[in-house]
A and B are shown apart, each in its own frame.
Chain A
């Protein structure tokens, strides 16, 4: 580690410092809210704010930006997410959110970390449940929980880049390492402007969704809380039954529209706002996204109807759950376990189709998780091209998406991603089954964690807690997968390359 002008030259430390300060701002807001909630958890949140501000300031002030090669970028992005997730547990630990009779400090820490990671990665899986209801928590903690999703939804690194003009062009690499999909398109000449525009769109969307919830019957606090987690396609709710608490079609529709907008490529929104260009209909990924959702809704509605659900109920529940899973939203609309909207109790065929949506995810460049429609379409085009070229070995056949020819290097990148993704699923499922969870719960849980989805199948459906389906070590495995999935695998897997190189260098120099 180099030191210049009494500052440590480390991109990771510098970025982490700012990110922690942003988290402190979030906790600070929650502290303010707790004043209006009879000051429950006020002092704990205030203390957490101070700790985070101190840690963030120390990290930021004592460091300066260093190298921005690929390895450094991965280390920086990975470290930022790890440290933020770890420090994000402080409010929960101080407020004793997960302390309950019969469990020790290690499990309390695992639960806090799980909730923190699930929040920042906008996954939406929760360890709250019947044993520890959400509705028994203070407003401050609930708002903090929602804010973690909001900050993580667009991306902590994007947020950091938007306030760090000194990063210049390398900022795009940082955003790229964090953003979902295969690469980020600049929507402004400067990277900082691009990052800021993404955040403006995101904030505006949050406000619109919040207004929608408010107009259709939510309390202002709940509207804001759900606005934050809808725009981030996170899925945390302030109620144990999630949106099922309101049992309102209009609220579900607001959530669905919000999810669909948030799961669409933000570049398309930017073009609409800035250039008044309505590129949605000409975008092959968006068209496929909508097409697949409509098809999925129809099939699942028909299957549910065939199982004795009324047509209206089938359509409502199918559309809500397909949209919430396809966009990696994660809200539930069931009134309770085993009720109509609880897809974990639906017929097997619908569960498998929903699993497909859990894997697929939304559009690239959006806040959603999963493999992404673009990768799926390119995968299909590539498979079609390969089969055709096997029939006609001498023909030059290109993989295409819409009118565009797909570059072979992009195809290879996507192939590499899908292969690693598949291997991680196998590894995750294997570990989770070895830790005692059943196969469907483990498989869907791994997919859900990697795709930052939220609920899964089996014992961790939309009305269940992850405490019911997984042991503490299992939850620890899942939170690692959430982080890997949020950063689209590679930054998290390769974040140790730089420290490894440095240690090898150090050992050699000592010799």
Chain B
């Protein structure tokens, strides 16, 4: 019914407000989100067959119904080309509907799970945040596979959004690319970008899965851990597997790869090995990992080989925002906790699966601070921001500064909401940083993990907006909300509505 109101075959020429791009974007996002969740459910149903197969029927019916209904309704959606802000809205609503659809699935499939818990679990999965409230110990393979693979879907969609839509990714300053090659040059067409990134995900997941098979893990567990590592989701059934040093080493390699820009990985895959050495962003990323590992090792109580491996694992898990966690060192210094918070805040390279502020933005900010110092000495000097020897456009610099402003504001707002409901200041700050950077889990001052299950429903829900904005690199979510807000305001003001109608007619 609702779709017919804005179908192209219906009354597209008439000036009807419901035919606005806002509805087109939301409905497209909705169909994309639901059908993606549906397809994932079908796949999970098939995986469940390798177990008891008890949930297979449900998964298949749920998935098929969702996909078929969406495919049918898609006929009624206008094929109108959308502007960038509308595409942001489409992506955001796609994420939201995907989360809602999964919430429904968890609620129906897992016993004794209320809607709030299911929603949080679903949001944590799609936003690749390593936080969980549902106990999957007794669950079948199907549901566990669904939980894990939804991380990959979320990560893949977010990365595609970053590559194709976020302005900083389209920068002509060699962002995340070595040898001054732009993202567009590496991925000239959108279809090629999708294919290439999909291939990177597929190959890296398979390689990591087979590598983990070398250890004592079985195929299913290896696959799950690989999916979590590649998506930077961090969800695992049993964290005890990370205590094995061979698993640690394989995952360290996997997590470093996921934190690396897809552009670099693609160029490496196409035989341009030299490009690795010329990327200063990559060098910074690796230097940060080594530096953090050294400091964590230094602060650890017993300086043996296992401490190095542990420190390395914790550092890589934090900076790549994967969120795999192992038991902390016996003596956990406060500075170690702060260092980890810093690492998740900085995050990995731009155009990687990880969240956080990302190293490229940080380098721009460093250049801004250097420029300001030069300007203080020479007030009339024209100083360009340069990264990798190339000038960065001024509007890109502004966006990064605004990103920093909004990033900090969201951390502060989320932490304030959490403290109002009774969470301590340290935990609130740690939770909001981990949610916004989509890293997780939350560590308390002693380095121990605080489970989100100990949070109230309201506190958990307060983390969801931060998780969603963080996963979509803030700007799409903010622009979407700004767009919806301004359109709603226009809708409520008759004069503007008439003007808008006249403009649309022309």
A438 CA to B365 CA, complexed, in Å: 27
Of A8-16, A34-42, A154-162, A344-352, the stretch lying at the interface with chain B is A344-352
Q: Report A470 CB to chain B, min CB distance, Å.
A: 13
Of B184-192, B195-203, B399-407, the stretch lying at the interface with chain A is B399-407
Is B373 positioned at the interface, with any CB of A under 8 Å from its CB? Answer: yes
Q: Determine the chain A residues whose CB is within 8 A of the CB of B333 once the complex forms.
A: 433-434
A382 CA to B405 CA, complexed, in Å: 10
Q: Determine the chain B residues whose CB is within 8 A of the CB of A74 once the complex forms.
A: 376-377
Partner of A387, one of B378, B404, B479: B479
What per-residue 1/0 map shows which CB atoms of A98-114 lie under 8 Å from chain B? Answer: 00000000000000000
Q: Determine the chain A residues whose CB is within 8 A of the CB of B365 once the complex forms.
A: 419, 422-423
Is A214 positioned at the interface, with any CB of B under 8 Å from its CB? Answer: no
Q: Count contacts on B: residues with CB < 8 A to the other chain.
A: 50
A416 CA to B400 CA, complexed, in Å: 12
Give the residue name and chain of the B residue nearest to A420 (CB): B369
User: Does A439 lie within 8 Å of B405, measured CB to CB?
Assistant: no
Is A225 positioned at the interface, with any CB of B under 8 Å from its CB? Answer: no
User: Does B416 lie within 8 Å of A352, measured CB to CB?
Assistant: yes
Is A490 positioned at the interface, with any CB of B under 8 Å from its CB? Answer: yes
Residues facing B in A415-437 (CB within 8 A) are 415-420, 422-423, 426, 429-430, 433-434, 436-437
Is B328 positioned at the interface, with any CB of A under 8 Å from its CB? Answer: no
What per-residue 1/0 map shows which CB atoms of A373-393 lie under 8 Å from chain B? Answer: 000000100110011111101
A303 CA to B482 CA, complexed, in Å: 30
**Number of A-B residue pairs with CB-CB distance less than 8 Å in the complex they form:** 132
Q: Determine the chain A residues whose CB is within 8 A of the CB of B84 once the complex forms.
A: 390-391, 393
Partner of A416, one of B368, B405, B475: B368
User: Does B371 lie within 8 Å of A416, measured CB to CB?
Assistant: yes
User: Does B376 lie within 8 Å of A70, measured CB to CB?
Assistant: yes
Is B82 positioned at the interface, with any CB of A under 8 Å from its CB? Answer: no
User: Does B402 lie within 8 Å of A439, measured CB to CB?
Assistant: no
Is B216 positioned at the interface, with any CB of A under 8 Å from its CB? Answer: no
Residues facing A in B402-427 (CB within 8 A) are 402, 404-406, 408, 412, 415-416, 419-420, 422-426
User: Does A352 lie within 8 Å of B335, measured CB to CB?
Assistant: no
Is A294 positioned at the interface, with any CB of B under 8 Å from its CB? Answer: no
Q: Report B435 CB to chain A, min CB distance, Å.
A: 16
A71-B377, A440-B426 given; A303·B420 CB < 8 A: yes
Is A188 positioned at the interface, with any CB of B under 8 Å from its CB? Answer: no
A418 CA to B399 CA, complexed, in Å: 14
Is B247 positioned at the interface, with any CB of A under 8 Å from its CB? Answer: no
Is A168 positioned at the interface, with any CB of B under 8 Å from its CB? Answer: no
A433 CA to B333 CA, complexed, in Å: 8
Give the residue name and chain of the A residue nearest to B428 (CB): A348
Of B54-62, B129-137, B336-344, the stretch lying at the interface with chain A is B336-344
A383-B406, A389-B395, A433-B334 given; A494·B376 CB < 8 A: yes
Is A199 positioned at the interface, with any CB of B under 8 Å from its CB? Answer: no
User: Does A416 lie within 8 Å of B402, measured CB to CB?
Assistant: no
User: Does B479 lie within 8 Å of A390, measured CB to CB?
Assistant: yes
Give the residue name and chain of the A residue nearest to B398 (CB): A386
Residues facing B in A83-121 (CB within 8 A) are none
Q: Determine the chain B residues whose CB is within 8 A of the CB of A423 once the complex forms.
A: 365-366, 369
User: Does A70 lie within 8 Å of B402, measured CB to CB?
Assistant: no
A347 CA to B84 CA, complexed, in Å: 43
A423 CA to B397 CA, complexed, in Å: 17
Q: Report B422 CB to chain A, min CB distance, Å.
A: 8
Is A413 positioned at the interface, with any CB of B under 8 Å from its CB? Answer: yes
User: Does A439 lie within 8 Å of B445, measured CB to CB?
Assistant: yes
Most B C-beta atoms less than 10 A away, residue of A417, A439, A442 = A439
User: Does A351 lie within 8 Å of B401, measured CB to CB?
Assistant: no
Is B483 positioned at the interface, with any CB of A under 8 Å from its CB? Answer: yes
A386-B399, A415-B368 given; A430·B377 CB < 8 A: no
Q: Determine the chain A residues whose CB is within 8 A of the CB of B102 once the complex forms.
A: none
Q: Report A350 CB to chain B, min CB distance, Å.
A: 8
Residues facing A in B216-270 (CB within 8 A) are none
Q: Count contacts on A: residues with CB < 8 A to the other chain.
A: 48
User: Does A391 lie within 8 Å of B420, measured CB to CB?
Assistant: no
Partner of A440, one of B335, B369, B416, B425: B425
What per-residue 1/0 map shows which CB atoms of B378-390 lie under 8 Å from chain A? Answer: 1100000000000
Residues facing B in A301-359 (CB within 8 A) are 303, 347-349, 351-353, 356
User: Does A379 lie within 8 Å of B405, measured CB to CB?
Assistant: yes
Is A130 positioned at the interface, with any CB of B under 8 Å from its CB? Answer: no
Residues facing B in A19-59 (CB within 8 A) are none
A411 CA to B378 CA, complexed, in Å: 17
Is B372 positioned at the interface, with any CB of A under 8 Å from its CB? Answer: yes
Q: Determine the chain A residues whose CB is within 8 A of the CB of B335 once the complex forms.
A: 430, 433-434
A148 CA to B461 CA, complexed, in Å: 50
Give the residue name and chain of the B residue nearest to A497 (CB): B377
Give the residue name and chain of the B residue nearest to A348 (CB): B419
Q: Determine the chain B residues whose CB is within 8 A of the CB of A430 once the complex forms.
A: 335, 338-339, 342
User: Does A415 lie within 8 Å of B398, measured CB to CB?
Assistant: yes
Most A C-beta atoms less than 10 A away, residue of B373, B375, B425 = B425
Q: Report A109 CB to chain B, min CB distance, Å.
A: 26
A254 CA to B373 CA, complexed, in Å: 40
Partner of A419, one of B368, B423, B445: B368
User: Does A439 lie within 8 Å of B426, measured CB to CB?
Assistant: yes
A494 CA to B377 CA, complexed, in Å: 8
Q: Report A294 CB to chain B, min CB distance, Å.
A: 18
Is B167 positioned at the interface, with any CB of A under 8 Å from its CB? Answer: yes
Q: Determine the chain A residues whose CB is within 8 A of the CB of B419 once the complex forms.
A: 347-349, 351-352
Partner of B334, one of A352, A391, A437, A493: A437
Residues facing A in B16-64 (CB within 8 A) are none
A413 CA to B379 CA, complexed, in Å: 10
User: Does A383 lie within 8 Å of B369, measured CB to CB?
Assistant: no
Is A460 positioned at the interface, with any CB of B under 8 Å from its CB? Answer: no
Q: Report B83 CB to chain A, min CB distance, Å.
A: 8
What per-residue 1/0 map shows which CB atoms of A453-467 lie under 8 Å from chain B? Answer: 000010000000000
A70 CA to B375 CA, complexed, in Å: 10
Question: Nearest 7 A-B pairs (CB), nearest first?
Answer: A416-B372, A348-B419, A349-B419, A433-B335, A349-B420, A434-B335, A391-B85
6 A-B pairs within 8 Å (CB atoms) are namely A352-B416, A387-B478, A390-B475, A412-B372, A416-B375, A426-B342
User: Which chain B residues have a beta carbon within 8 Å of chain A's beta carbons?
Assistant: 84-85, 167, 333-335, 337-339, 342, 365-366, 368-369, 371-373, 375-379, 395, 397-399, 401-402, 404-406, 408, 412, 415-416, 419-420, 422-426, 428-429, 445, 475, 478-479, 482-483
12 additional A-B pairs beyond A349-B419, A418-B405, A494-B376, beta carbons within 8 Å, are A349-B416, A352-B415, A383-B405, A390-B84, A391-B482, A419-B401, A430-B338, A430-B339, A433-B333, A438-B334, A442-B338, A494-B377
User: Which chain A residues have a beta carbon within 8 Å of chain B's beta carbons?
Assistant: 70-71, 74, 303, 347-349, 351-353, 356, 379, 382-383, 386-391, 393, 411-413, 415-420, 422-423, 426, 429-430, 433-434, 436-440, 442, 457, 490, 493-494, 497
